[in-house]
Amino acid sequence: MYSFTYERPTTLSDAQRLIGAGGQALAGGQTLLASMKQRLASPEQLVDLGRIAELQGVCQDGQSLVIGAMTRHADVAANALVRQHIPALAALAGQIGDKQIRAMGTLGGSVANNDPAACYPSAVLALEATVHTTQRKIAAADFFQGLYSTALEAGELITAISFPIPAKAVYLKFQQPASRFALVGVFVAQTAGGVRVAVTGAASGGVFRHAGLEAALTQSFTPAAAAAVRIDASDLNTDLHASADYRAHLIGVLTQRAVQQLSA
Amino acid sequence: MRVQFEVNGQSVSIDTVPNTLLVQALRDQLQLTGTHVGCDTAQCGACTVIVDGRSVKSCNVLAAQVDGAKITTIEGLAKADGTLHPMQAAFKECHGLQCGFCTSGMVMSAVDLCQRHPNATEAEIREQLEGNLCRCTGYQNIVQAVQQGAAAMKA
C-alpha cells in the first residue's frame, strides 16, 4: 500500500472540515482499501469515520427506520428493529459479500460508492428512502446518477438513510458466485404508493426502477403479471459473467419469485 | 503514528505508519506469522482474525482502524500449556486441511461462526465459510471439522 496520511475525527464537524479540505472519507474500507492497493483510487489523506458515534445505529422515526451511515452490514442484519419492520433489508444486509466483509462494510460506504452490482442501492431506491447528508436530504430517485456516481457533492457526507417501512418487501439476488455481488438483484416492495421494483447488477447505468414491472404488479400482484412484462435487454450489461439477454431473463425470473414469496 | 491494541490477551503498542495493514502489523511488527496473506485482495480469507468478537480480513483493514480493539489471532487459541482449542483439535482429527495455507484463517472464521451460531447446520456452515477459500478444495473435511469443533465448543 502506498503512503497516505490518516485522520480519525470523533465529531461530524471535524470530519466535514477534513473532507472539505480534500480528505477521502474512509467508512468500512472494504471497497476503498482494495481499490487503493490496485491504484484505482489514490487519495492522499484518509478520514476514518469509524469513531463518530452519531453516524452509528438504527432508530425508528414514525413510519420510517433511520439507519446511521456507519452502521455495519452485520449490525443491520442483526438489528431487532430492522428485522421486525423491514426484514427484507436485514436479509439483504446479511447476504452482502461474506461475513468478514459484513463485519466491516457500512451502509453509507456502499450507497456512496454506488457500485452497479451492490445490493443496498436497490433497497434505497425501491423503498423510496431519503439520503441524509451533512448538507441536505436527497430523495433516492435523485441520488443515484449512474455508474459509481451519486448526487453527493465534494465534501458532502452521508450521515444516515431513512427507509419508509413498506407493507411487504423482499430482495432476491442471483449471486456472481466468486464475488457474491449481484449478477442481478431485484428488490420488490409493496408500498403505500404502489409496487416498487428496483434492479441492481444488471444495467450499465447502475441501479434502476423498472417501470413496466411496477405498473403490471401494481395492477395485479401475481407472478403471471410479472412474467408478461417484456424486459428490454438493450440497456443491460454484457460481461464475462453474463450476457445482457441472460440478465434480462434473470430480472423476470427473480421478480416472479419475489412476487410468489410475498404472496405466500 | 502509535497504534495500541490487545492481541491474544496482551496489550501491545506499535510505532507504525498510516498505510500499515492489520495483517502487516501482526506479521511484520508483532511476528505473529500464523496469520497468512493469501490473495491480498480480501477474497481468500487466509488472513482472517477476530477483532472485537467478529472475524475480519486483516489484509483489508488498516491497523489504525482497529486502534484500541481486542484482537485474537490463531496464536491466541491454544492454551498456554499447548492444549489445542477445540476447533484446532477438530481440524487435526478430521484432517480439515491439505496444504494448510488457508487453515489459520479457516479456523478463526470457524471459531467466530460457532460463537455466533453454535447450532449451525451443515448448510449454514458452508454459507458462513464462503469468505474462506481452500485452493486444495478440501471442503468436505473442513465442514466436518467445523461440525465436530462446534460440538466440542459447546461441551
Domain co-membership, B118 together with B64: no
Domain co-membership, B70 together with B128: no
Domain co-membership, B57 together with B98: no
Domain co-membership, B67 together with B106: no
Cβ burial, residue A219 (10 Å; 0-12/13-18/19+):
exposed
Interface ipTM = 0.96
Backbone angles phi, psi at B116, to 5 degrees: -85, -35
Out of A3, A98, A178, whose CB is closest to B19? A3
Closest to A130 measured CA to CA, from A62, A185, A182:
A62
**A199-218: average pLDDT:** 97
Residues B18, A4: C-beta atoms closer than 8 Å: yes
pLDDT of residue A178: 80
Q: How many domains does chain B have?
A: 2
pLDDT of residue A112: 98
Question: Which CATH architecture best describes the domain A1-55?
Answer: 2-Layer Sandwich (3.30)
Closest to B133 measured CA to CA, from B46, B74, B23:
B46
- CA-CA distance, B142 to B93, in Å (whole number)? 11
Give every residue of chain B whose pLDDT is below 70, as ranges: none
Strand order in the sheet with A137-139: A58-61, A64-68, A158-164, A130-133, A137-139
CATH H-level, domain A168-263: superfamily: CO dehydrogenase flavoprotein, C-terminal domain (3.30.390.50)
Out of A2, A29, A179, whose CB is closest to B61? A29
**Lookup: cell for A14:** 471535524
Domain that holds residue B50: 2-74
Q: How many CB pairs under 8 A join A and B?
A: 76
- CA-CA distance, A102 to B55, in Å (whole number)? 9
Confidence at A190, pLDDT banded by 50, 70, 90: very high
**Residue A191 predicted with pLDDT over 90:** yes
Chain B residues whose beta carbon lies within 8 Å of the beta carbon of residue A33? 21, 42, 60-62
pLDDT of residue A180: 82
Among A18, A99, A101, A102, pick the best mutation site for testing chain B contact (most B Cβ within 10 A): A99
Residues B122 and B142 sit within 8 Å (Cβ to Cβ):
no
Chain A residues whose beta carbon lies within 8 Å of the beta carbon of residue B57? 100-101
**Residue A179 predicted with pLDDT over 90:** no
